[in-house]
Amino acid sequence: MVDLTPTEEQRHIQAAAADLLAARSREAGARAVRAEPAGYSAELWKEMTGLGWPGLALPEEYGGADGGFLELCLLFEELGRHQVPSPLLTTMACAALPIARHGSAAQRAQWLRAVAQGRTLSYVRAAPRGDWNATGSDVVAEPAGQGFRLHGTALFVPYAGTADALLVIARTGGPEELTALLVDNAPPGVRCERLDVVGNDPHYRVDFTAVTVPGERAVGAVGSGRTVAGTAAELGAAATCAEMAGGAQGVLDMTVGHARRREQFGRPIGSFQAVQHHCANMAVDVLGSRLGAYESIWRLSQGLPATMEVSLAKAWGSEAYQRVCALGHQVHGAIGFTYEHDLHFFHRHAVASALAFGDADHHIARVTRYLGL
């Protein structure tokens, strides 16, 4: 078992992130930015960029801090705990780090430096019709001169409306042949339409109509897009597990605070054994989610195989976070279901996160295949 005791530097990163997000949650939290066209606070993003968050896990030669994926996930955990929507996870886990691993020297020099300076990216995944069990891609890249011409429609693309570029996993041959392409988000032929989704992060339908992409925008070799997609999905799922663990911790903190303050029959409801049992069960799920998340994140940060660990963490965390929210509603009673209470933002986040990068059933099936069952 990996030792997950944080180092002094990791404690400092997490404490600094917690302090900043707690101070900014009122103007940059899910409730405050729900009507914002971008879906997040541009002011907070500038502040995060100034603090070096987008460059935390990038090499120093590109303007980064040369930290690791584990340190980056401490930020995701705090973003989940304080319910602050941000393009950080999509930009880093699903695009920048896959570019760092699979991109050319020119792509790394251009795009990683741009991300460290605050530009954002998004990821058009290879999940036709939003089904993670399906193969292929709904976006087709036809050869055109020295490059490609894109056609097709992608659904549920996070932060596509404001991203500077998209990492698109497109079909370039038969149904199984995929290629990763970096596509600017502003050329003629790219159209983004915001979708009405349950979660707090904005998602878009992206239509590509005869979009020209130069050949040097291919990330990795032509036809190797499945490898790039695998990296983006694995890092994205693990990062989402950290965010879910933070969200579950936020619900537990909120619920314990309510149980201490709310009085019934002349004493705090937290003194009743039934409420104590609910809070204890929530704590077990929070700790289990965090342990699973960081074991998989540590393996990924060390370059070790982590297919089974990521799926175990995602399957457990997806269900545990929703259980924590359900028990939180039980303790809060009717007030927890109202729009005026922040608990429902956590519940929205739990439902959306459970579906992101594959739901619990998808990952349990991956574990059984991995074990040969």
For residue 126, is pLDDT > 70?
A: no
User: Which alpha helices (H) appear in the chain, and where do they start and end?
Assistant: 8-28, 42-50, 69-81, 88-91, 97-102, 105-107, 113-116, 225-261, 273-301, 307-332, 343-355, 360-370
pLDDT at 295: 96
Q: Which amino acid is at 139?
A: V
For residue 151, is pLDDT > 90?
A: yes
pLDDT at 285: 98
Using 50, 70 and 90 to split pLDDT, how confident is the model at 350?
very high
pLDDT at 208: 96
Nearest alpha carbon to residue 170 among 186, 154, 157, 155:
154
pLDDT at 1: 59
For residue 233, is pLDDT > 70?
A: yes
Distance of alpha carbon 293 from alpha carbon 240, whole angstroms: 9
pLDDT in tens, 60-104: 999 999 999 999 999 999 999 999 999 999 999 999 999 999 999
Contact call for residues 354 and 321 (beta carbons, < 8 A): yes
Mean pLDDT of 221-236: 95
Q: Helices 69-81 and 8-28, interaxial angle, to 10°?
A: 30
What pTM, to 2 d.p., does this model score?
Answer: 0.96
Distance of alpha carbon 302 from alpha carbon 348, whole angstroms: 32
Which stretch of 183-187, 215-219, 281-285, 304-308 has the lowest confidence by average pLDDT?
Answer: 183-187
For residue 4, is pLDDT > 90?
A: no
Instruction: Kindly report the average pLDDT of the chain as a whole number.
Output: 95
pLDDT in tens, 267-296: 999 999 999 999 999 999 999 999 999 999
pLDDT in tens, 20-34: 999 999 999 999 999
